Structure 1
Amino acid sequence: MSQVSEEREERVEPTPPEPVEPPAPAERRQPEQKASKAGRNLPAAIGVGLVLGAAIIVSLLTVRFLFIGIIAIAIGVGTFEFAGVLRRVANVRVAMIPVIVGGQAMIWLAWPFGREGALTAFVLTVLACLIWRLPGGADGYLRDIAASVFASAYLPLFGAFAAMLVPPHDGVGRVLTFLIAVVASDTGGYIAGVLGGKHPMAPTISPKKSWEGFAGSMVGGIVAGSLTISLMLHGQAWQGVIFGVAIVLTATLGDLVESLIKRDLGIKDMGTLLPGHGGIMDRLDSLLPSAVVSWLLLSAFVPS
C-alpha cells in the first residue's frame, strides 16, 4: 500500500502558479494629476473672460443702456445661484419671487431715479419678503428673512450702483473706469500671487490669497485708476490713485467675503455656469462692492 501511495503522489502534477501580469510600461501608466498652481482651468477662464468682456464692450459702444440689461441678467442668475446653494446646503429658503422681482426693480429704477429709485425698491423688497414668508410659520422665519434681506442687498442693491454709472453723458467712460480698475486689480493680484505668493494674507479664509498678490493688485489698480480717470473722464491723476487704491481694497474685501461665505457653506464654487470661473456669483464677488465705491468716488471726483 505504501508503495502504491508513493507512486500516486509522484504522479500528481503540481498546480502551476497564477500568471502574474507584468507591470505596465512606463509610457502606459497614467501620470498623477497635479493641481495647477493657478488653481483653475486657465484657458477656459481666459476664454470665458474674453467673451464676457466682448459682450460688455459691444453693449457700451453701441447702445450703452444695454449694459444695464447685462447687469440685470447677471444679478438675476446670481440670485438664483445663491438662493439655490443656501437651500441645498443649509436648508435656508430665500423668498425667491420678492427678491428676484424686487432686485430687477432696484436695477431698472436706478436708471431714471438714481439712489431714490434703488433704495425705495429695496425697502419694498424687504417688506415683501416679510409678508411672503409668513405662511411658512415660525420655524426658521428669522433665518430665512435674514438670508432674503442679505441676498437683496448684496446682489441687486449693490448692482444698482453699477447701473447708476451709465446714465451720465460720460457714462461709457465711468463704466469702463470701474471695470478696468477691478480687472486690473484682479489680474495684477492673480499674476503676482501665482508667480511669487509666499505670505498668506488670510489663511483661514482664502489660503491662496497672499500679500504679494495684494501688492500686485495695488499696482494694477493704481495704474488703471490714474490712467482711466485722467484719459477717459478728464480728472486728475491723484484722483485716479485714490480711486485705484479704494477699488483694490473693496475688490479684495469682496473676494474675502465671498470666500468666507463659501467656507461657511462648505462649497468650492457657487455654481458651474462659467468654465474656469465657477458660477456668476464667483465673478461678481469683487465687482459688487466695488460698484458702490466707484459710483461714490466718481460722483465726487468728476460730477456729471
Structure 2
Amino acid sequence: MTPDPDTGPIPTVGRRPAPPPPPLPPRAVTDLRMAPLPVQEPATAEPSPREPRTTQVEVPVSTTESVGPDLVHAPTKKSGRAGRDMVAAIGVGAALGAAILLPLLVYRPAFLLVLGAAILTGVVELTRALRAGSARAPLVPLLVGTVAMIALAWTRGASGLVVAFLLTVLAVLLWRLAEGPDGYLRDASAGVLVALYVPLLAGFAVLLLVPEDGAARVLAFIATVVGNDVGGFAAGVLFGKHPMAPSVSPKKSWEGMAGSVVACVLVATPIVTLALGGPWWGGVLFGVALAVSATAGDLGESLIKRDLGIKDMGQLLPGHGGIMDRLDSLLPSAAVAYLLLSVVAPA
C-alpha cells in the first residue's frame, strides 16, 4: 500500500467574517424646531479655497414653515373654492334666514327690531374699518341718526327718512367740529359716507315694509338678493372662466353674473306676479335690476376693503365675516326694489 500524496495543509472549517454593513443613507430632517444650518466661520489663517471651514450652528425654524420637499408640512385648514368655511357659512346663513323670516311673517313691527340691530352693528363695523384708513367717523351721532332714520321712515315715510338723514349729516359735521381742524374734512366725509351707505339705504327696506303687503315686498326683495348670491356662486364655481373685476374681486366672473341674472328672474317673477299682482315683465325687470344692484353693492364693498387693506368688515358671523359683509348686496338693492315696485306693483 502506497501512502497518499501530500495535498497541502488541511483547511480549517469555520464561518467567514460577515462583511461590514453598508453605510446608512442620510435621513431627512423631521424635527424642524432646531435644524442645523452650516454657517461660514471667519478664517484666522489662510483657508483652502476648496474646503472652507464651517461650524454647525443651531437655528430655530418654525414648525409651520415648509423648508423643502423632504420636510414635514404642517396641516392647513381646508376651505372651499370660495375661500370660506362652507359648513359654518351655510349654518349661519340658515340662522340669519330664520331670524328674518319669523318676525317678518308673524309680526311686521318686530322686523324693525331685527333690522335696527343689524344696521346699528353695520354702522359700528364700517366706522371701525374706516380707521384702517386713518378716518375717524363720529360714531355717536351716527348711531343716534340710524335710530332716527328707521323710526321716521316707519312713521313718516320717505319724507321722514330724508329729514332724518339730513339731520344726521348736520350732527356729524357739528360733532366732529369740536375736535379741531386736524383731519376734519377726512373724518367728516367718512361720517357722511357711513350715514349714506348704511342707515339711509336700509331705510328703503323700512319703506317697503310700511304698506299692508309690506311683508311680501320685503320678502321679494330679500329672496331675489339671496337668489343672486346662490345663482352667482353656483355658476361661478361650475363655469366661471372670465373674471369680471380681477383687481377688485378675483372670484367674480361674467359666467357667475349670468347665473345671478337667471336666478333672480326665476325667484322674482312668481313673487311679483302672484304675491304683489304685478305683470310678468315687471318681475323680469325686477330680477334683472336687483341682480345688477346686488352685484354692484358687493363689488363696491370689496373696493372699500381693498382700499383699506382688510379682508372682512368684521368677525361676527363665522364663514361670512361681519354683518356688513352680508349687507353689502342688500343695501343698494333695497333702494332699487322700493323704486321699481312703486312702478310695477304700487301699493
With normalisation by structure 2, the TM-score equals 0.79
Q: Which amino acid letter does the alignment assign opposite residue 42 of structure 1?
A: M
1:202 pairs with 2:239: no
Hey, what's the Cα distance between the residues in 2 that align with 1:193 and 1:104? Answer: 38
2:88: which partner in 1?
44
1:77: which partner in 2?
121
Cα distance per residue 1:85-141 (max 9 Å; x no partner): 112x12211111111100111111100111111110010111111110112111110
The alpha-carbon distance between structure 1 residues 112 and 32, as it changes in their structure 2 partners (threshold 3 A), is: closer
1:239/1:301 contact within 8 Å kept: yes
Q: Which runs of 5+ in 2 are unaligned?
A: 1-23, 32-69
1:243: which partner in 2?
286
1:147 pairs with 2:190: yes
Q: Return the index of the structure with the highest Cα Rg.
A: 2
1:213 pairs with 2:246: no
2:208/2:218 contact within 8 Å kept: yes
Please report how far the alpha carbon of residue 62 of structure 1 lies from its aligned counterpart in structure 2 after TM superposition: 1.1
Hey, what's the Cα distance between the residues in 2 that align with 1:140 and 1:213? Answer: 41
Aligned partner of 2:323 among 268, 280, 286: 280
SS at structure 2 position matched to 1:101: helix
1:62: which partner in 2?
106
1:133 pairs with 2:176: yes
SS at structure 2 position matched to 1:137: coil
Q: Which runs of 5+ in 1 are unaligned?
A: 1-16
Q: CA RMSD in A?
A: 1.9
With normalisation by structure 1, the TM-score equals 0.89
Answer 1 or 2: which has greater helix percent.
1
Q: Which amino acid letter does the alignment assign opposite residue 130 of structure 2?
A: L
**Larger relative contact order (Cα-Cα within 8 Å, sequence gap ≥ 6):** 1
2:314/2:323 contact within 8 Å kept: yes
Q: Which amino acid letter does the alignment assign opposite residue 107 of structure 2?
A: V
Hey, what's the Cα distance between the residues in 1 that align with 2:279 and 2:28? Answer: 75
1:166: which partner in 2?
209
Hey, what's the Cα distance between the residues in 2 that align with 1:21 and 1:217? Answer: 51
Q: For 1:250-265, what aligned pairs fall within 5 Å after superposition? A: 250-265=293-308
2:133/2:308 contact within 8 Å kept: yes
Hey, what's the Cα distance between the residues in 2 that align with 1:149 and 1:31? Answer: 45
The alpha-carbon distance between structure 1 residues 137 and 48, as it changes in their structure 2 partners (threshold 3 A), is: same
Hey, what's the Cα distance between the residues in 2 that align with 1:177 and 1:21? Answer: 62
Cα distance per residue 1:179-209 (max 9 Å; x no partner): 1100001110011111121100011111110
Q: For 1:87-166, what aligned pairs fall within 5 Å after superposition? A: 87=131, 89-166=132-209
Hey, what's the Cα distance between the residues in 2 that align with 1:244 and 1:32? Answer: 40
1:255/1:286 contact within 8 Å kept: yes
Q: Which amino acid letter does the alignment assign opposite residue 125 of structure 2?
A: E
Hey, what's the Cα distance between the residues in 1 that align with 2:30 and 2:87? Answer: 35
Aligned-pair identity in percent equals: 54
2:295/2:329 contact within 8 Å kept: yes
2:270: which partner in 1?
227
The alpha-carbon distance between structure 1 residues 181 and 29, as it changes in their structure 2 partners (threshold 3 A), is: same
SS at structure 1 position matched to 2:251: strand
The alpha-carbon distance between structure 1 residues 135 and 190, as it changes in their structure 2 partners (threshold 3 A), is: same
Please report how far the alpha carbon of residue 38 of structure 1 lies from its aligned counterpart in structure 2 after TM superposition: 2.3
SS at structure 2 position matched to 1:133: helix
Hey, what's the Cα distance between the residues in 1 that align with 2:321 and 2:342? Answer: 33
